[in-house]
């Protein structure tokens, strides 16, 4: 079990399971509700995880394959209870919500040919696209702020790379993994700090100045 | 006839090479439509069910598993989305060692730009479905506007969209 800094006493494995089951059952409305509940539960209510640490965890989850919130659950679970904490947190978050999801899907199969249900879905499905649009904007916003502060070169490169990745998937039908790996390599080539104008750690490494433009 | 092992591996691949709940959609879409194991409509339906049900958005894959392959499909999908995020333990260790290296920030920037592009393709994939007309686009735009207000719960927006669908398409 990992050592924890000052604050609330360490929860038992059962407590971890119980708390995560509560999150798994209450978070109707998808990832946004889940994330908010995690924040309120662990940082605000119990103080088991510091806010700064939650932010650092979340950043690591962004570059981990798969669902970010599952990765976040794993990191919090490990901090609270080691390997057993991971299992308890994952079981609590995923099993109840997966069961509810199956129940809803089964209910849907029973009524899917009902014209009223089809009509309702024709309203709900495009709404999910709109919500996804907002998720895209939320992801783009912090990126936009740092790109803008870096100047025209960063802005121009980003303005090309984002639409290029969309076209690569939609028109060229390249696999998503290839597109992401390509963007990562282009990121190293185009955004690696030179002359202290890099994206994250300006002038953190003087050796970067020796690299080709 | 669905091959369970290949089915699981397709879901695992999609999850392994994605980041975030919906970025596995294009990969699953390519593979499951290609093998004939899913039809176009099942994607929109799974996303709708995933949006309504509790938990991360990424659990939409479980309803895709259920709709295309019943309970075994749901169980295989759950396993496939649980395994890849365990790599966060490796990522946390590696990142602790390399975060000061000068090229890591550029790599992260490239990945972030790619993630934004992928999110946009997800919206596009949903909106170009055959039964989505201009009214569907209007609902998408309205949902976008309402969701921008953090005080409006998503479930209320989905409820309004359901009412709009009933009124417009019944």
* Residue A80 at interface with chain B, using a CB cutoff of 8 Å: no
CB contact under 8 A, B120 and A108: no
Rounded to an integer, what distance in angstroms lies between the CA atom of residue A54 and that of residue A50? 6
User: Virtual CA dihedral for B150, B156, B161, B163, nearest 10 degrees?
Assistant: -150
Residues B124 and B149 placed together within one structural domain of the fold: no
Residues B76 and B11 placed together within one structural domain of the fold: yes
Residues B157 and B88 placed together within one structural domain of the fold: no
Mean pLDDT on A139-153 = 84
- The model's pTM is 0.67
Residues B43 and B81 placed together within one structural domain of the fold: yes
Distance from CA of B94 to the nearest CA of A (A): 10
Residues B85 and B122 placed together within one structural domain of the fold: yes
Report chain A's mean pLDDT, rounded to a whole number.
Answer: 81
Rounded to an integer, what distance in angstroms lies between the CA atom of residue B10 and that of residue B32? 8
How many domains does the structure of chain B reveal?
2
* Residue A131 at interface with chain B, using a CB cutoff of 8 Å: yes
Using CB atoms, pick whichever of A62, A130, A188 lies closest to residue B110: A188
Residues B108 and B74 placed together within one structural domain of the fold: yes
- Beta carbons of A63 and B111 less than 8 angstroms apart: yes
* Residue A188 at interface with chain B, using a CB cutoff of 8 Å: yes
The first and second tokens of residue A28, run together, are 């109707």
- Give which of A75, A205, A191 is closest to B105, Cα–Cα: A191
Question: Could you give the percent of chain B with pLDDT greater than 90?
Answer: 42
Task: Render pLDDT for B129-141 as a digit per residue (tens, 0 to 9).
Answer: 888 899 999 999 9
The first and second tokens of residue B13, run together, are 């691949």
Name the residue range of residue B112's domain.
4-130
**Which residue did the predictor score with more confidence, A128 or B86?**
B86
Handedness of CA B168, B133, B128, B115 (dihedral sign): negative
Residues B36 and B89 placed together within one structural domain of the fold: yes
Task: Render pLDDT for B63-96 as a digit per residue (tens, 0 to 9).
Answer: 999 999 999 999 999 999 999 999 999 989 998 8
Question: CA neighbours within 13 Å on the CB side: how many for A124?
Answer: 25
- How is chain A split into domains, by residue range? 13-111, 151-210
pLDDT grade, residue A20 (50/70/90)? very high
The residues near A59 (Cβ < 8 Å, ≥ 6 apart) are none
């Amino acid at each position: 079990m990992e050592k924890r800094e000052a604050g609330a006493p360490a929860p038992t494995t059962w407590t971890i399971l119980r708390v995560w089951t509560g999150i798994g059952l209450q978070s109707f409305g998808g990832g946004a509700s889940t994330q908010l509940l995690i924040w309120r539960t662990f940082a605000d209510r119990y103080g088991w995880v510091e806010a700064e640490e939650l932010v650092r965890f979340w950043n690591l989850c962004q570059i981990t394959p798969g669902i970010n919130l599952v990765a976040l659950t794993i990191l919090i679970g490990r901090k609270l209870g080691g390997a057993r904490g991971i299992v308890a947190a994952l079981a609590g978050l995923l099993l109840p919500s997966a069961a509810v999801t199956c129940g809803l899907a089964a209910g849907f199969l029973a009524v899917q040919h009902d014209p009223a249900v089809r009509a309702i879905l024709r309203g709900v499905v495009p709404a999910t696209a709109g919500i996804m649009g907002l998720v895209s904007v939320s992801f783009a916003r912090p990126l936009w702020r740092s790109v803008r502060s870096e100047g025209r070169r960063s802005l121009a490169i980003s303005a090309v790379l984002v639409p290029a990745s969309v076209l690569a998937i939609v028109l060229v039908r390249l696999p998503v993994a290839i597109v992401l790996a390509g963007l990562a390599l282009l990121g190293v080539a185009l955004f690696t700090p030179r002359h202290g104008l890099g994206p994250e750690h300006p002038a953190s490494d003087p050796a970067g100045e020796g690299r080709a433009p | 006839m669905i091959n369970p092992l290949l089915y699981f591996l397709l879901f695992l691949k999609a999850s392994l090479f994605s980041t975030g709940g919906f970025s596995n959609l294009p990969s699953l879409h390519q593979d499951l439509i290609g093998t004939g194991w899913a039809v176009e409509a099942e994607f929109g339906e799974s996303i709708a069910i995933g949006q309504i049900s509790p938990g991360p958005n990424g659990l939409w894959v479980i309803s895709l598993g259920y709709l295309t392959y019943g309970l075994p499909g749901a169980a295989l999908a759950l396993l496939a989305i649980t395994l890849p995020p365990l790599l966060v333990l490796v990522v946390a260790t590696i990142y602790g060692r390399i975060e000061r290296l000068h090229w890591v920030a550029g790599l992260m920037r490239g990945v972030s730009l790619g993630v934004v592009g992928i999110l946009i393709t997800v919206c596009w994939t949903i909106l170009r479905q055959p039964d989505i007309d201009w009214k569907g686009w209007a609902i998408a735009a309205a949902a976008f506007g309402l969701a921008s207000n953090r005080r409006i719960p998503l479930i209320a927006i989905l409820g309004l969209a359901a009412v709009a669908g009933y009124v417009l398409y019944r």
